[in-house]
Amino acid sequence: MCRHLAYLGPEIPFGRIVLTPPHSLYRQSWAPRRQRHGTVNADGFGVGWYAPGDPVPARYRRAGPIWADEQLLDLGRVVRTGALLAAVRDATVAGPDAEAAAAPFTAGRYLFSHNGAVTGWPGALAPLAAELPPEELLGLQARCDAAFLWALVHHRLARGDEPGEALADTVRAVAAAAPGSRLNLLLTDGTTIAATAWGDTLFHLAVPGGGRVVAAEPHDDSPHWTEVPDRTLLRATRTEVLHTPLKEPAT
């Protein structure tokens, strides 16, 4: 499992969202309050953000725990952005991929994260792997379930699917192939956020001054956080949020 969040809003130092709130993503790496599976998210972390006028995000990832990185506090203080995606990782299965397995995953203008686990990984998803072109399988960013989910999502985006549609179709396909999987996916292109609640918690918050945070759990005790129902697709902009129920795949 993992903890993750995305932000759209006024340009701010990214530490104001990722590091400084009382129950920030930083703190959730060792003391999450709503995490249903696992207790410590110390198997890597990452922050991806968008600079003004540049549609391609920058990214900073490390293999170790977020609290052990001495550079992040300075980066969070001086790097300003109006859109970001960040995550701390609790690996489902130990592997050799180090920071390559830490979200956010990226391609073009997108940032992506997965909170959850695929049941029966990797064998259960062999039928879905067969649907991907060989070059996409060979180009996997890591040998973990999250990287494979990103390959499935990105394949749909590349063929023209809208971000929410790409997430929803991926969740339904994986849930059919691997029942019991937890598939909370998070995606942004710097102007919109798409996310799924499928097996774990998801919340959103309107930011004072205009903006939106979508997160695995609240980073403070504000009463204005809204929990997203399980089996739901969320689409968000800075000013609007839309929930769409997701149906279980037919058995």
What are the structural domains, with CATH classification, of the chain? 2-115+186-245 (3.60.20.10)
Q: Helix %, strand %, coil % for the chain, to 5?
A: 25, 30, 45
> What's the pLDDT at 95?
61
pLDDT of 46 strictly over 80:
yes
Question: Looking at the annotation, which residues are catalytic?
Answer: 2
> What's the pLDDT at 42?
93
Cα separation, 219 vs 3, whole angstroms: 11
| Whether the Cβ atoms of residue 222 and residue 205 lie closer than 8 Å to each other | yes
> What's the pLDDT at 93?
65
pLDDT of 98 strictly over 70:
yes
Read off the pLDDT of each residue in 32-54 and give the average, rounded to a whole number: 94
Cα separation, 13 vs 24, whole angstroms: 14
Nearest to 198 by CA among 218, 212, 178: 178
Six-digit token string for 141 = 């960013």
Confidence of residue 96 (pLDDT cuts 50, 70, 90): low
| Whether the Cβ atoms of residue 21 and residue 218 lie closer than 8 Å to each other | no
Radius of gyration of the chain (CA): 17
224 burial via Cβ count (<10 Å: 0-12, 13-18, 19+): exposed
> What's the pLDDT at 6?
98
What type of residue is 34? R
Read off the pLDDT of each residue in 113-127 and give the average, rounded to a whole number: 95
pLDDT of 166 strictly over 90:
yes
Taken in order 89, 83, 197, 176, the sign of the CA dihedral is negative
| Whether the Cβ atoms of residue 6 and residue 84 lie closer than 8 Å to each other | yes
Confidence of residue 164 (pLDDT cuts 50, 70, 90): very high
What type of residue is 227? E
Q: Which residues contact 139 (CB under 8 A, 6 or more apart)?
A: 151
Q: What is the pTM of this model?
A: 0.96
Nearest to 202 by CA among 10, 34, 66: 34
